Amino acid sequence: MNTLISPSQCLKLAFAEGEYLPPETLGEIDIAAAEQRYLVPVIGPEFHEKLLAGNYTDFRDEYLAAPLALFTRLALQPRLDIRTGQCGTTAPKSSWSQPADDEAILRHRNALRSEARTLLRRAVDHLESHRGEFPEYRPEKNILNRCTTDGGFVQIR
C-alpha cells in the first residue's frame, strides 16, 4: 500500500518520547484511511496522486507529514484505549496505572484534532500562497474553502 508517510514516521511524529508503541501497533492501512478521510478532501485527489508518486517531497515532509500523523493517531487512539481478546473488550489496568476517564479522553482527542487541523491549515496556506508551484492543487476542490467547523460552529462559504 502506498502512503505519504510510513508507520515508523507516523509513530515518531504523533507520539512523544515516553509514549512508546511497538511498530506493529499501526499499519499503512491506518495511514491510508486517515489520508482519505482528512487530507484528500482538502488537497484534492490529483494533488494526492502526485504526492504518492513521489513529487513535492519537501512539501509533503514539511507540511503534510505532521498533520497526517496526528490524524492517524486520532483515528487509532480509541483502539489504543481498549484491548480486544478472548475475554472480549477490556480497558487496560494495572497496579501502577488506571484507564483515563471519559473527560480526559475527550480533552485529549480534542487537543489532537485541534493541532492536526491547525497544521493542515498551515499546509493549505502554503499551497494557496505558492499556487504556481503546485499546479495539481485545485482550491475549488478544497473542502476547507467551502465548509469548516471552528469553535463548534459550522461555517459554510
Number of domains in the chain: 1
Q: Which is more confident, 1 or 62? A: 62
**Residue 136 lies inside a defined structural domain of this protein:** yes
**Residue 128 lies inside a defined structural domain of this protein:** yes
pLDDT at 94: 66
Domain that holds residue 105: 7-83+100-156
pLDDT at 101: 81
| pLDDT per position as a tens digit, 79-93 | 887 777 787 877 767
44-48, 108-112, 145-149, 152-156: which is most confident = 44-48
| pLDDT per position as a tens digit, 13-55 | 999 888 878 888 899 999 999 999 999 999 999 999 999 999 9
Q: How many CA atoms lie within 13 A of 31 on its CB side?
A: 25
**Residue 89 lies inside a defined structural domain of this protein:** no
Rounded to 10 degrees, the C-alpha dihedral 38/74/25/102 comes to -160
The per-type count for the chain, helices as H runs and strands as E runs, is 7, 4
| pLDDT per position as a tens digit, 90-106 | 776 766 677 778 798 88
Q: Would you tell me how many other CB atoms lie within 10 Å of the CB of residue 20?
A: 9
